[in-house]
Amino acid sequence: MLLLLLLFAGVGFAHNAPCEDKYRYKCQDYARFHRCAAPEASKICPKTCGYCEETENVLQIESAVVRTTIAPKEAGQPCTDSITTCNNFKHQCDREDIRVLCEKTCRVCNGTSNSLEFRSSEPVSSKDYPCHDMILECQSQLHLCLHPKHEQKLMETCAKTCGYCQEEVPEFRFNKPKSSCFDEFPYCHRQLDLCHDPAYENDLRMTCAKTCGFCKEESQQDSRIGSGTFLNHSRCADNSYACNHNVHLCFNKFFKDDMKKNCKMTCGYCPKPIAPPTAPPCKDSFTTCFAKRHLCRTPEYLEDMKKNCPETCGLCPQPTAPLMACKDLSQTCYQNRYLCHQQSHQDMKKSCPKTCGYCPKPPTPPCEDLLEAACRQSSQYCTKDEYKEDMWNLCAKTCGYCRPPMATLAPPASDPTCADKSDICPLQSRLCQDPQLKAEMAKNCAKTCGYCSSSCVDKIDICHQYTHLCRNPQAAKNMAKNCARTCGYCRTLSTTLAPPSSDPTCADKFDICPMQSRFCQDPQLKAEMAKNCAKTCGYCSSPCADKIEICHQYTHLCRDPQAAENMAKNCAKTCGYCSSPPAATSCADLLTVCPPQRLCYDPDWKVYMATNCKKTCGQCLGFKSLVSTKAQECFDHLETCPSTKDHCQDDMIKDEMKRYCPMTCGYCSNSTLTLSSPKTEPTCFDIHPHCSELPDFCDNPTTKEFMKTDCRKTCGFCQEIEKPIQASVDSMYQQEFLEGPKDTGTEVKWTRNLNLIANLEKS
């Protein structure tokens, strides 16, 4: 209001109770985004929005104060500004009202302007008013233009803004090429996070079109409009860049025809589009299509999936126009995904189309990795629920989604009372198993999520909270009884898509076996998986062959204790397991804590390790005993051999390097190495290859026990060891290893020694 006082100094107005805004900064936003018409504006922003008596008095400028046009000032007349604050408005000289008040600042003196105005005491009728605003606050009073209480006053003071002028529409308003894209508000970047907020979107579409990216939408809309979808086959678009500002004139009796001609899109005068011929709805025929989506990429099932699951597989007829990128416009879509189904939040369809499942289905991509290197390094995420969708899209080949498991599709539910409560349920099928939304999905999308079958249901409502117990050996029985559907224990009577197996007796008992394949080798669940998922886990009789093509690159892992099981399953032919496949026998170490694994290949320890540490040495899978084997391939026994290659010719540890790193040091020959019988009194030697570098640790109380075992030669502990530890010697250690430690001290000592070994090997 201070600016108004400067503009109209000397004009008398009534002084009533002070009228102030309650929230000054919020009121600035109300005026900036034209929200003064909101019901609450009169209470919280009366001053800014013009609801004060003081504002009314300012608007009630004497009728004698009118505007008339005079001739330009003659040369020599002083050129001055009418107000002292013109310097603050020097960047707004394109506005006519600023040029009138700030002649000197805007440099419109000496005949450069022909629209200077002065006050006259002669009243004139409103129809004679030039199209001009008298005050700078007209934009903030725009919502009052048609208010019966203020209409007459604003006709005098804000004729231009309110559209009361009866002259021809100024040329700048129309007939000017529409600008490509621009913002009307200089601080639009501060409102960027509100661009797609339903409460502000319409206002920002008018004031910050460029920053918010609405220009592209309008351009795309124009291109679609001009593609012949309308009755008159003409491009329906605005011809002026100012249509958004003049939207209040769309139905003004003076400007209706002009607005219809120049702003037909803004005002809604475009012809209605021709309705395209309706195509039959493209929907899935089964409720379990999403769970079987991995079959969409398989050629042998493509026709069946196209017929039964076209929506899930993205095989619906594609629109003629290219699909636009579908993405969420809000950063809180995932947190608010529970609002997708609620009728009171229809804006989620526009703000969060990807999260809520409103995106059109793209064509099925070929089965390949889009990021080959990254996929190979990220294969561990294939089975994690939070990454499964991204891995499905980016790493289909790596994650094995291309290979069809033996899956079945359930027929549609026969229960007529079972139906989805929402039309978008088929698009939300991926949320059926979401832990946080499962109960809500079961309630609203029972048909889509497969909860319609009456023969197999959960007996309690909280099954989704205990899915981690479905395969727990101790809880599996109760879970199968009370949570059969959630845990996947329902036997689906369905039409099988997979071709009949050559072995009719070998089959999976449950249709979820392919999704549980990662448990095939789980020690606790292996027997159960072999019983219920024999086909998925590969226990059916079949010709002996390698399941992957790169087995020859990993022959060195065939006897690796940690990798042998997987190698026997995937590379049976290459590793020679065809004649005697590995048996799932109970095999365990006889010792509580076995010595280091590298001693399995040590000539002096081989017999002892083969007898007491079968599992550690990898002899539990039907491998030939290391003791009875006549010849062994030449290989390094320590992982650190390559890093110690420089010591191969070191006289101090040459013998140890030859024993533990024959391949690295070049001691391998074409002849095979024959294992001799274990010695009764083995020579004194160091087990660790770096003992010569660790003499300072020999007498250290913390490492002395370790040095006695692994560096007895370097430390001179050979005389302290009465007899070597062998299977034939009934020593204290041997008895303890066979029967288990008699007290926790020995077990703790061994554990500490193993930790020391690991730390020294790292060093």
pLDDT at 17 over 80: no
Whether 243 and 258 have beta carbons less than 8 Å apart is answered as no
User: How far from chain centre, in Å, is Cα 213?
Assistant: 23
pLDDT at 626 over 80: no
Q: Which residues pair with 546 in a beta bridge?
A: 571
Q: Say what the pTM is.
A: 0.18
pLDDT at 369 over 50: yes
3-state secondary structure of 211: helix
3-state secondary structure of 706: helix
Mean pLDDT of 381-401: 74
Give the burial class of 95: count Cβ atoms within 10 A of its Cβ; 0-12 exposed, 13-18 middle, 19 or more buried: middle
Task: Quickly state the pLDDT bin for 11 (edges 50, 70, 90).
Answer: very low
Q: Which of 198-212, 439-453, 579-593, 706-720 has the lowest mean pLDDT?
A: 579-593
Say which DSSP state 187 is in: T
Mean pLDDT of 261-277: 69
Per-residue model confidence (pLDDT) at position 244: 66
What mean pLDDT is reported for the chain? 64
Distance between CA 180 and CA 241 in Å, rounded? 9
Per-residue model confidence (pLDDT) at position 321: 45
Distance between CA 711 and CA 50 in Å, rounded? 93
pLDDT at 684 over 50: yes
The dihedrals phi and psi of 367, each to the nearest 5 degrees, come to -80, 100
Distance between CA 677 and CA 428 in Å, rounded? 68
Per-residue model confidence (pLDDT) at position 593: 66
Per-residue model confidence (pLDDT) at position 220: 47
Q: Residue 177: CB partners within 8 Å, gap ≥ 6?
A: 241
Per-residue model confidence (pLDDT) at position 585: 43
Whether 632 and 610 have beta carbons less than 8 Å apart is answered as no
Per-residue model confidence (pLDDT) at position 126: 38
Whether 35 and 29 have beta carbons less than 8 Å apart is answered as yes
Mean pLDDT of 510-520: 74
Mean pLDDT of 493-522: 59
Distance between CA 29 and CA 2 in Å, rounded? 19
Q: Residue 556: CB partners within 8 Å, gap ≥ 6?
A: 635
Task: Quickly state the pLDDT bin for 422 (edges 50, 70, 90).
Answer: confident
| Residue scoring higher pLDDT (197 or 731) | 197
Q: Which residues pair with 483 in a beta bridge?
A: 458
At 183, which helix (H) or strand (E)? none
Largest Cα separation within the chain, whole Å, is 132
Mean pLDDT of 277-301: 75
Mean pLDDT of 267-287: 70
Per-residue model confidence (pLDDT) at position 491: 43
Q: Residue 741: CB partners within 8 Å, gap ≥ 6?
A: 592, 747, 750
At 387, which helix (H) or strand (E)? helix 385-394
User: How far from chain centre, in Å, is Cα 651?
Assistant: 59
Find the DSSP H helices in 310-368.
310-313, 348-351, 353-356
pLDDT at 155 over 70: yes
User: Per residue in 65-110, pLDDT tens?
Assistant: 333 333 444 545 678 887 777 776 766 776 666 777 788 888 777 5
Whether 377 and 391 have beta carbons less than 8 Å apart is answered as no
Task: Quickly state the pLDDT bin for 453 (edges 50, 70, 90).
Answer: low
Per-residue model confidence (pLDDT) at position 612: 77
pLDDT at 712 over 60: yes
The dihedrals phi and psi of 382, each to the nearest 5 degrees, come to -60, -35
Q: Which of 322-331, 343-352, 444-453, 752-761 has the lowest mean pLDDT?
A: 752-761
Distance between CA 93 and CA 102 in Å, rounded? 8
pLDDT at 568 over 50: yes
Mean pLDDT of 603-630: 61
- Dihedral sign from CA coordinates of 410, 413, 414, 415: positive
Distance between CA 17 and CA 235 in Å, rounded? 55
Per-residue model confidence (pLDDT) at position 535: 80
| Residue scoring higher pLDDT (13 or 706) | 706
Mean pLDDT of 508-523: 75
Task: Quickly state the pLDDT bin for 708 (edges 50, 70, 90).
Answer: confident
DSSP characters over 522-582: -TTTHHHHHHHBTTTTT-S-----BSSTTGGGGGGGTT-TTTHHHHHHHBHHHHT-SSSPP
Residue written as token pair 């590969």: 538
Task: Quickly state the pLDDT bin for 482 (edges 50, 70, 90).
Answer: confident
Task: Quickly state the pLDDT bin for 504 (edges 50, 70, 90).
Answer: low
Whether 241 and 178 have beta carbons less than 8 Å apart is answered as yes
| Residue scoring higher pLDDT (658 or 52) | 658
Distance between CA 400 and CA 367 in Å, rounded? 9
Whether 432 and 450 have beta carbons less than 8 Å apart is answered as yes
Highest mean pLDDT, choosing among 92-96, 148-152, 289-293, 584-588 = 289-293
How far does the chain reach from its first CA to its final CA, in angstroms?
78
The dihedrals phi and psi of 18, each to the nearest 5 degrees, come to -60, 135
User: How far from chain centre, in Å, is Cα 138?
Assistant: 47
At 219, which helix (H) or strand (E)? helix 214-225
DSSP characters over 73-124: PPTTS---BSSTTGGGGGGGTTSHHHHHHBHHHHT-TTTT-S--EEEES---
The residue type found at 638 is L
Q: Residue 715: CB partners within 8 Å, gap ≥ 6?
A: 691, 695, 698, 707, 708
Residue written as token pair 């109380």: 701
| Boundaries of every domain in the chain | 21-50, 82-107, 133-166, 180-214, 239-274, 276-317, 505-540, 588-620, 636-667
Distance between CA 329 and CA 310 in Å, rounded? 27
Per-residue model confidence (pLDDT) at position 757: 47
Distance between CA 77 and CA 446 in Å, rounded? 86
| Residue scoring higher pLDDT (30 or 310) | 310
Q: Which of 41-55, 298-312, 723-737 has the lowest mean pLDDT?
A: 723-737
- Long-range CB pairs of 11-19 (<8 Å, 24+ gap) are 11/58, 11/61, 11/62, 11/65, 13/54, 13/57, 13/58, 13/60, 14/53, 14/54, 14/57, 15/54, 16/53, 16/54, 19/46, 19/47, 19/51, 19/52, 19/53, 19/54, 19/55
Whether 123 and 66 have beta carbons less than 8 Å apart is answered as yes
User: Per residue in 27-57, pLDDT tens?
Assistant: 777 766 666 766 667 777 877 777 775 334 3
User: How far from chain centre, in Å, is Cα 737?
Assistant: 53
User: Per residue in 230-243, pLDDT tens?
Assistant: 333 345 777 766 67
Ramachandran class of 517: left when φ > 0, alpha when ψ lies in -120 to 50, beta otherwise: alpha
- Which of 113, 100, 106 is closest to 88 using CA atoms? 106
pLDDT at 167 over 50: no
